[in-house]
Chain A
Amino acid sequence: MLEQLINWFPEWARPFIMPMITIGIVLQVNLGVCSYLILLERKLSAWMQDRIGPNRVGPWGLLQPVADMLKLLLKEDVIPGHVNKFLYVLAPGISVFTTMLAFAVVPFGPVPRNLSATDGQFPYIIAPGVDLGLVFIFAVTSLAVYGIILGGWASNNKYSALGAMRASAQVVSYEIPLGMSVVGLALLTGSMSIEKILLHQADAGIFGWNIWFQPLACVIFFAAAMAEAQRLPFDLSECEQELVGGWHTEYSAMKWGLFFLGEYTHVITISFLTSILFFGGWHFPWIAEPDSQYLGSTLVKVLVLLTKSFAFIIVIQMLRWTIPRFRFDQLMGLAWKVLIPLATLNVVCVMIVKQFHLNEWWLLPMSAGLFLGAGLIGTQSSRPFARRTLEPVPEAHGHHAHAH
């Protein structure tokens, strides 16, 4: 049926039809899911805090996202007089555009092998066959922070500027462990394409999932990705207790809404990536194997992937209300002193295994060893910046003679 639809178009337009349909579906689903993720987050936080949460609009508050959306659309869109208008308007757009763009190479179902743009098969990915998928994602999502930096800078407000500064420092620290953590996967698979990494795991069965070989990389990836999406415990750029609203202090109405659309799309992307890169994507033993051909198997595969991603979204949202926000020096210390060395050593381990043709299962004890080693170093290392000398301070000669 889809093939007939494609053939109805002129020759030159045919390669664009399937991507357009896919983009339309992904965009609409994404917008709907984002608004309901906000409701879910509010409900989940309420349940954790022994509250009930939004329950006034519709049954169980199910129409709350609609009401929120209407409110955001109908609210007065204030542009303060002291802002740089061009950058101020541009920033939310960048935020949404980049996070949506990153989703282009994320498969959301079983991508058919031997896919061509005109054969009418539904691709389950907007841009199939991007061999540098991982690099593309990290390149594009790190651009998302430009939305924050530009928004904070254009607001011409010290709180926004501080939030933007924090976001830039944070992204500098977290890009590196984020990128390093998946280098091991690329080495193991022999490809940077996300579809190929997924198929590699699916072909190997449940004990071929990358979580068995790269558990440490999974933890590093998850932590760094949360930091990149500005989610708690790493949302220092927003940090409403210190910075009013952080980078979006001056934003209102739908521009503010777009920032949050971007943030939640980022969360969805992270969850999809974690389940695809480390947990086998749509693969699940017995019900969703690569060769399962029963009726509706494709739907089951999509559902398996969605369930896995949904589980990670729940974990991210639960972490938000579980862990307090990191202090800024703790955040930078964690990234530079812990995550980057661990991710680098993890890559070295993969290289050793590949170079000497060892069994891949050696990677599991190696990861555990690295993790325990990091814990041991953390225990043993003194923290000289926290210790104060007990010697009496020498008497001051004149006022402000010593700068303690």
Chain B
Amino acid sequence: MPINPKDIEWVEEPSMNFWESTYLPAVFDGLRTTGQHVADFHPVTEFYPEQKPDLPSHYRGVHRLNRDDKGRVKCVACMMCATACPARCIDIVAQDAPKDDPHWADRDKFPKSFVIDELKCIYCGMCEEACPVDSIELTNIFDLTGMSRQEMMFDKEKLLSVFDQTKDSANNPVRTHKGKLGHASDFTNLHTLGPATTVRADDRSAKANSAGVIE
């Protein structure tokens, strides 16, 4: 369908004043600007291999799996990160925590294997947001290289070693609940969640067993 001519708004180029139409003042003005940059020289170049960039702490680089205060992997193998991942690069195999081992006394599950394909990952940070126990975090390691695709499949040991490397660096602080499991582990019984908005009494969801849930 062609555009109605009434909808077309023609924008005229602004008419030039006297000095503009002689061009030269604009040329000299431009030369002044570029000349000032030469005379007042403040390069923004970083000498990369010798001088590493100062990245912000929220930079999203290589992942790590945090350890808790006992040195165990924090991850509880809840699969939230694998579910949230838009690139589907996280592969977790969960395992029940051994009940008779005092080392795992307070934990139900832990990941038997935890593999992230760093080549598939788009570094969006959704896994970090999804994690209820603050286990998976993105560090600001950006210069990741490997000789093969297999090398870039980071397993649990490698991700934990990334944590060991980066936990003490100033740019990669363990962000919350240092040492302890995250906020989701703080309460033992879940209270009933109310709806986010008020629900009219005649609404279907108000009559449901669990408030706010439509069955």
Interface residues of A (CB under 8 A from B): 44, 46-52, 219, 315, 318-319, 321-323, 371-372, 374-376, 378-379, 383, 386-388, 390, 392-393
Cβ-defined contact, A376 with B31, below 8 A? no
User: Per-residue 0/1 for B41-73: is the Cβ within 8 Å of any A Cβ (1 yes, 0 no)?
Assistant: 111110000000000000000000000000000
Say yes or no: A322-B22 contact (C-beta < 8 A), given A50-B43, A378-B16, A386-B13.
no
Sampled A-B contacts (26; CB under 8 Å)? A47-B38, A50-B37, A50-B41, A50-B43, A50-B44, A52-B43, A52-B45, A219-B24, A315-B31, A318-B31, A318-B38, A322-B27, A322-B34, A323-B30, A371-B22, A374-B22, A375-B19, A376-B18, A378-B21, A379-B17, A379-B18, A383-B13, A390-B10, A392-B5, A392-B6, A393-B5
Interchain Cβ contacts within 8 Å, total number: 61
Report how far A387 CA is from B15 CA in the complex, Å.
11
User: Is B33 an interface position by the 8 A CB rule?
Assistant: yes
Report how far A387 CA is from B14 CA in the complex, Å.
11
CB distance from B30 to the nearest CB of A (A): 4
User: Is B35 an interface position by the 8 A CB rule?
Assistant: yes
Report how far A32 CA is from B27 CA in the complex, Å.
31
User: Is B12 an interface position by the 8 A CB rule?
Assistant: yes
CB distance from A151 to the nearest CB of B (A): 30
Q: A379-B15, A379-B18 are in contact. List 11 more A-B contacts (CB 8 A).
A: A48-B37, A50-B41, A50-B43, A318-B35, A319-B27, A378-B22, A379-B21, A383-B13, A387-B12, A390-B10, A392-B5
Report how far A374 CA is from B23 CA in the complex, Å.
11
Set of chain A residues within 8 Å of B41, measured between Cβ atoms:
47, 50
Cβ-defined contact, B27 with A323, below 8 A? yes
Set of chain A residues within 8 Å of B31, measured between Cβ atoms:
315, 318-319, 322
A56 and chain B: residue at smallest CB distance: B47
Set of chain A residues within 8 Å of B18, measured between Cβ atoms:
375-376, 379
Set of chain B residues within 8 Å of A375, measured between Cβ atoms:
18-19, 21-22
B36 and chain A: residue at smallest CB distance: A48
Set of chain A residues within 8 Å of B34, measured between Cβ atoms:
48, 318, 321-322
Cβ-defined contact, A51 with B44, below 8 A? yes
Chain B CB within 10 Å — which of A46, A371, A378, A387 has the most? A378
Q: Which of A51, A383, A386 contacts B43 (CB 8 A)?
A: A51
Report how far A390 CA is from B33 CA in the complex, Å.
39
Set of chain B residues within 8 Å of A372, measured between Cβ atoms:
22
Cβ-defined contact, A51 with B45, below 8 A? yes
Cβ-defined contact, A388 with B10, below 8 A? yes
Set of chain A residues within 8 Å of B6, measured between Cβ atoms:
392
